[in-house]
Structure 1
Amino acid sequence: MTSLPARLYRALALGWLASKAVVLLVNAVTFPRLHPSRPSLRPRVSLLVPARNEARALPHTLPGLLAQGADEVIVLDDESTDGTGIVAGCLGAQVIRGEPRPDGWYGKPWACQQLWRAASGDVLVFVDADVIWQPGALDAVLHGLEHTGADLLSVQPRQRPVTVGERLLTPLVDNAVLSYFPYPLIGLPQPAASMANGQVMALRRRALEEAGGFAAVRQVVLDDTEFARHLKARGRRLAVALGGPLIGVRMYASYPQSVAGYAKNVLPLHLGSRPLLLLSAVAHLAVYTLPWLVRVPGWRVLRVAGLLERVAANVISGRTRPADLLEGLLGPLTPLLALPVYARALRRTVSWKGRTYPQKAR
């Protein structure tokens, strides 16, 4: 007879995976996708790029942005040391030099605050420097903003990993978005039911002005989601869309970069709670890795479900090439590969792009 702890483990593990499968199914049906469309009335649009040491990325991404036909494309050179501003100017963008950060401001919110002040558009689209825009992408974003009536439409770009090292952790961002947050919840008025992706955020100028710009998130590392909550608390509407073939991204070029990038966000994603972060690490090891090492109760189902989950998230996001589908085989290894992320996130400070910020924990 199976012991009580074993039965409890099986129930919790299978229940967790089943709940994530339900969320994936809901999002497969309801999560919006960008598609080629034009808005009925095109407003004045500013494309705004906060850029710190992005000289290597901009030649690959900025030409596609400049070709979108926006009224202005402004790159803020955020105290770069690699010639970012020179590269952006040579490619044809308007470049402004970032001012030194005031006390109490983190890097990206301050860069976006300056871009907001410099822009003249009625719709302001904030774009990370590593995001890749295909022809018609801006029209699709504007159509989505118009169709949903949202004040903030953010886009989840399609991941475009190149190396094996990138595939180890980077694509997990899609799994996190698609298996934990049922998209219909975004329509609820509660600020906690908010989601946003700072890689692409299209904002109506009026809403941003009434919110006071980015001052509300000036000391927040995970500023996108917190900013979305701030807007919803003021009665504003949110929407999110998958970028599909129109908007992609190559976030990190290696496994070490993925570790550093995720480490800055993982504690805020766990509500700033170190005990919850540790519990998450243990739970992922117990559900996804342990069944491959020990024949725990339900091990067959747990193995199959763990492999299929990541494949399902990739398919929903539109990543269906053989190499993308084979990423599912990494399922048992992922909790082990993520341990350095958890270890860095437990530190009292977090570093990114040469700047160090305190970790706000409870």
Structure 2
Amino acid sequence: MGGALPALVAGFHLTKTVGLLDNLASFPVLGRRPSAAPPLPRVSLLVPARDEADRLPRCLPGLLAQPAAEVLVCDDESTDDTAGVVRRAAADDPRLRLVPGTPRPPGWIGKSWACHQLAAAATGDLLVFCDADVLLQPGALAALWAELTRQRSEVFSVFPRQQTGTLGERLLVPLIDEVLLSFLPHRLLSLPVPAAATANGQLLAFRRSAYQAIGGHRAVADRIVEDLALGRLARRRGLRLGLALGGDLVSARMYDGYPQTVRGLGKSMREAHGDRDALLLASLGWHLLAYTVPWLRWRSAPGWRLAATLSVAQRLLVNAKTGRGSPWEALLVPVTAPAAIPVYLLAARRRARWRGRSYP
């Protein structure tokens, strides 16, 4: 049994590395010179915003640099100057419009309610939902449309290049890209595989007919991880999903510091594990075993050494593909699982608090 455990962990890392290598070759990245595509349809850029007065001044110029027909921002009952920031910017560009949010009805999660109001106010044939922490470079919308068209997608999302400013963020935020690139082969999106479904609400586009076909955000009104739920629902309805990395054109800094990162990831961790305590515990235990224990047992078996080496190599490959981070960041891998323990503890509480609201 002593040799079986390191062999099992090494086998996991070998399998993960194979999937990652496949995605390094096949996972699309938005390009500054997109391939030929039909002319842009009428596009609505839609931003749900709750207490985003600090972020919107950085976000809005990138949105307004795109050839969208309209840019709508829903003020989701903010307690800061979110509405004022939008109104002042709208004075210089008539495409920008504030959508005053109304109190969310019972059973609705705040973000889904804001997105539902935006969709109702939008006039575009392509609805592009964009979080206020996302920065778009000139050409981003054209590249998104070109890639959506190339993949023949009806629902299409972009994973921005994740920016991190503190050690705590560098420990945990890169896991988002690592999970995506290691465990969802992009080639499966073109096959009828129900499990091959995900989406990213940071930048999520729908052809209007597809949005209506799945029932829009109303269909996921009570889901904390609404983007994943929308992707899975679209897949069940037979709609074609598309994914791409943001590359140089789309970036975001999701959190400011380790405490906010823990709260942000913790609010969605439970739903990502099927709302089951047993799965949360098993996930934490496995990550400690797969990423931390190999370094503690380096000298005891070749399997541990192989697992430890591959875990660092995976982070280097992910960062190379996404164009973020630096080589030294890979040295944080052994302590990433322990750093995630507070995220699991928060998820185990069965209640999340985010932007002044509590969610079961």
TM-score (norm 1): 0.94
Q: Distance in 2 between matches of 1:123 and 1:313?
A: 30
CA contact (8 A) 1:190 1:233 kept: no
SS at match of 1:74: strand
Q: Residue 346 of structure 1 is aligned with which of 341, 345, 348?
A: 348
What corresponds to 2:318 in structure 1? 313
- Of 125, 148, 153, the residue aligned with 1:150 is 153
What RMSD in Å do the two structures reach over aligned CA positions? 1.3
1:26 and 2:29 aligned? no
Q: CA deviation at 1:212?
A: 2.0
Equivalent position of 1:331 in the other structure: 333
Q: 2:85 aligns with which of 71, 84, 87?
A: 87
Q: Which amino acid aligns with 1:51?
A: A
> How much does 1:188 deviate?
2.7
Q: Does 1:355 align with 2:351?
A: no
Aligned residue number for residue 115 of structure 2: 112
1:41 CA displacement: 1.6
Q: What one-letter code is carried by the residue in structure 2 that aligns with 1:192?
A: A
One-letter code of the match for 2:349?
A: R
C-alpha offsets along residues 287-322 of structure 1, whole Å, 9 cap, x if unaligned?
Answer: 211122234432322221121111111111122xxx
Shift, 1:35, TM fit = 1.0
Contact 1:128 1:200 in 2 (8 A): yes
Residues 1:122 and 1:163: Cα distance change in structure 2 (over 3 Å): same
Task: Give 1:192 shift.
Answer: 2.6
Aligned to 2:37: 39
Deviation string for 1:219-277 (max 9, x for gaps)?
A: 11111111111112112110000000000011111011111111011222222222111
Shift of 1:344: 0.4
Query: Aligned partner of 2:41: which letter?
Result: P
Displacement of 1:286 in angstroms is 1.3
Q: Which residue among 42, 53, 56 is the counterpart of 2:54?
A: 56
Q: 1:113-160 CA distances to partner (integer Å, 9 max, x unpaired)?
A: 110000000001000000010010010011112222211110000111
Deviations along 1:22-73, one digit per CA (max 9) or x if unpaired, are 1101111111111122632210000000001111111111111111121000
Identity of aligned residues (%): 48
- Cα offset, 1:162, TM superposition: 2.4
Match of 2:93 in 1: none
**2-structure distance, mates of 1:269, 1:15:** 24
- Aligned residue pairs total 351
Identify the range of structure 1 (161-170 vs 131-140) with the bigger mean alpha-carbon deviation: 161-170
Q: Which runs of 4+ in 1 moved over 4 A?
A: none
Whether the aligned pair in 1 keeps the contact of 2:9 and 2:304 (CA below 8 Å) is no
Counterpart for residue 186 of structure 2: 183
Q: Which segment drifts farther, 190-199 or 219-228?
A: 190-199
Give the match's secondary structure for 2:194: coil
Whether 1:160 aligns to 2:163 is yes
Tell me how far apart the structure 1 counterparts of residues 53 and 327 of structure 2 sit (CA, whole Å).
Answer: 32
Structure 2 contact 165–257 (Cα < 8 Å) conserved:
no
Q: Partner of 1:348: helix, strand, or coil?
A: coil
Describe the SS at the equivalent of 2:48.
strand
Asked whether the 8 Å contact 2:42–2:124 carries over to 1, the reply is yes
